[in-house]
Amino acid sequence: MTVNERAVRALKEILQKPGNDACADCGAADPEWASCSLGVFICLGCSGIHRNLPEIGKVKSVTLSRWEDSEIQFMAERGNKAMKAEYEAVVPVYYYKPTHKDCQALREQWIRAKYERKEFSTAGRKLPYEEGMREGMLMKRGRDNGQFFSRRFVLLEREGNLKYYAKQDAKMPKAVIKVDTINATFQPGKIGNPNGLQITYLKENITRNIFLYHESSKEIVDWYNSIRYVQFHYLKVAFPGSSDAELKPKLTRNFLKEGYMEKTGPRQTEGFKRRWFTLDHRRLMYFKDPLDAFAKGEVYLAHRDLGYSVCAGLPVGTHCNGAWQHGITIVTPDRSFLFTCESESEQQDWISHFSSAIGTSMSPQEYSMEALFKHKY
Ligand SMILES: [Zn+2]
């Protein structure tokens, strides 16, 4: 056995220890890389981020790199469990811990916050997200022309809202957004910028989208976590009896699924038209274009006991004049919605998400939401 084979065998043994079976930073299974400055096992994606950290960015492949005995010893002594206890000792409830499915900006800032800035190592530190007020310029996509312009944004914990101004010195905000209606999600692909952030909110019960970015990934991720911080404190006041664990899922959430389907109108005789669909928990919204400010319409997916159901296929006799053939029918107490998907796998994927929403019991807030939606049809 060569020196290196021995090293690989020793490392594989260390990888068997609890905690080392998943990336220390994003949780991806079976990490094949390691930071030998920090003593953690990480996935390929996170290793690329670590590599760019000055001073602490020494990464090696478990199987391909040459390892010194002292380095193997170091990995054995440390490992993911012990280092998590050190670097993630006090992660605030509102702080979003990214997974391997999240975008580069979120993962990079999480790794930098953990190891470079050591934000979560000792209690009692006031983090930049917790100021109660954040003010700054963000690039915002214009509603009509699709160009991005620099706009001043102000987030205020005291007022529980996010405002933005059309001009730097404007007195009146262009919009006042209540934080409890905000859902912020990173959308680099859709927005066409690695730091692209979509903010979805309600204005007079109508869903509205704005699309933002900042050149600096730290700035945009700080904004994102500041919004979560303000939302969390708003919810604490609104639901005084709730535990942190109950409130956490009410903060920003990633969309369950997005993509194109074709749909027909309420009379079901209109042609099928291609629309961009976004499923945000129980709200299925559709847009003409993925970057539209307003949804063309929405379907609220309430519990099946209230008369909601979903099935594959279209009602017999539906004149399917669209290009796509894989039908889905959603039945609500008021009407049926007919969709078609490009492929069977897309159809099955959408159906499994719809079924899961319809099969999940509802909170009191969701009952009032459902009642509100009924009036819209
Ligand atoms: Zn990872």
**Among 169-173, 203-207, 287-291, 351-355, whose mean pLDDT is lowest?**
203-207
CA of 293 to the centre of ligand 1 (A): 34
Q: 177 phi and psi, to 5 degrees?
A: -110, 120
CA of 88 to the centre of ligand 1 (A): 15
Query: 133 forms bridges with which residues in the sheet?
Result: 156
What pLDDT, in 10s, does the model give residues 195-211? 999 999 988 878 899 99
Span 258-268, mean pLDDT? 88
Residue 262 within any structural domain of the chain: yes
Residue 111 within any structural domain of the chain: no
Check if the beta carbon of residue 133 is closer than 8 Å to that of residue 156: yes
pLDDT at 268 over 80: no
Q: What is the pLDDT of residue 320?
A: 72
Residue 283 within any structural domain of the chain: yes
Span 13-22, mean pLDDT? 95
Q: What is the pLDDT of residue 375?
A: 60
Span 232-254, mean pLDDT? 92
CA of 289 to the centre of ligand 1 (A): 33
CA of 181 to the centre of ligand 1 (A): 31
Q: What is the pLDDT of residue 316?
A: 85
- Among 250, 284, 309, give the residue marking a domain's end: 250
| Of 343, 341, 337, the residue nearest 358 (C-alpha) | 337
Residue 364 within any structural domain of the chain: yes
CA of 100 to the centre of ligand 1 (A): 6
Q: What is the pLDDT of residue 1?
A: 65
CA of 126 to the centre of ligand 1 (A): 27
CA of 263 to the centre of ligand 1 (A): 38
Let me know whether 283 and 232 are in one domain. Answer: no
CATH number at residue 343: 2.30.29.30
Q: At what angle do helices 217-238 and 104-111 cross, to 10 degrees?
A: 80
Let me know whether 197 and 240 are in one domain. Answer: yes
Residue 64 within any structural domain of the chain: yes
Let me know whether 226 and 176 are in one domain. Answer: yes
CA of 192 to the centre of ligand 1 (A): 23
Q: What is the pLDDT of residue 159?
A: 94
Let me know whether 267 and 241 are in one domain. Answer: no
pLDDT at 223 over 70: yes
CA of 282 to the centre of ligand 1 (A): 30
Domain of 284 in residue numbering reads as 257-374
Mean pLDDT of the chain: 93
Q: 222 phi and psi, to 5 degrees?
A: -65, -40
Q: What is the CB neighbour count within 10 angstroms for residue 87?
A: 20
Span 86-101, mean pLDDT? 96
What pLDDT, in 10s, does the model give residues 313-370? 998 888 777 789 999 999 999 889 999 999 999 999 999 999 999 999 998 889 988 9
- Among 58, 87, 116, give the residue marking a domain's end: 87
CA of 31 to the centre of ligand 1 (A): 7
CA of 364 to the centre of ligand 1 (A): 37
CA of 21 to the centre of ligand 1 (A): 11
Q: 68 phi and psi, to 5 degrees?
A: -80, 150
Span 66-75, mean pLDDT? 94
Residue 290 within any structural domain of the chain: yes
CA of 105 to the centre of ligand 1 (A): 13
CA of 33 to the centre of ligand 1 (A): 9
- Could you say which DSSP state residue 11 is in? H
Span 20-32, mean pLDDT? 97
CA of 39 to the centre of ligand 1 (A): 14
CA dihedral of residues 107, 111, 116, 120 (deg, nearest 10): 110
CA of 43 to the centre of ligand 1 (A): 4
Q: In what helix (H) or strand (E) does residue 8 lie, and over which residues does it extend?
A: helix 3-15
CA of 256 to the centre of ligand 1 (A): 21
- Among 227, 250, 273, give the residue marking a domain's end: 250
CA of 49 to the centre of ligand 1 (A): 9
Q: What is the pLDDT of residue 163?
A: 97
Residue 48 within any structural domain of the chain: yes
* Alpha-carbon separation of residue 97 from 82, 109, 168, 294, 351 (angstroms): 18, 10, 33, 29, 28
State the first-to-last Cα distance of the chain, in angstroms, to the nearest integer.
72
CA of 157 to the centre of ligand 1 (A): 33
CA of 356 to the centre of ligand 1 (A): 28
pLDDT at 301 over 70: yes
CA of 278 to the centre of ligand 1 (A): 27
pLDDT at 146 over 90: no
Let me know whether 225 and 285 are in one domain. Answer: no
pLDDT at 42 over 80: yes
Let me know whether 220 and 275 are in one domain. Answer: no
Let me know whether 189 and 208 are in one domain. Answer: yes
Q: In whole angstroms, what is the distance from residue 239 CA to residue 241 CA?
A: 6
Span 281-289, mean pLDDT? 93
Let me know whether 240 and 261 are in one domain. Answer: no
Q: What is the pLDDT of residue 227?
A: 97
Let me know whether 321 and 338 are in one domain. Answer: yes
Let me know whether 298 and 279 are in one domain. Answer: yes
Q: At what angle do helices 3-15 and 69-77 cross, to 10 degrees?
A: 0
CA of 138 to the centre of ligand 1 (A): 29
Residue 41 within any structural domain of the chain: yes
CATH number at residue 60: 1.10.220.150
Let me know whether 7 and 25 are in one domain. Answer: yes
* HSE value, Cβ hemisphere, 13 Å, CA-based, for 224: 31
Say how many domains are in the chain: 3
Let me know whether 176 and 195 are in one domain. Answer: yes
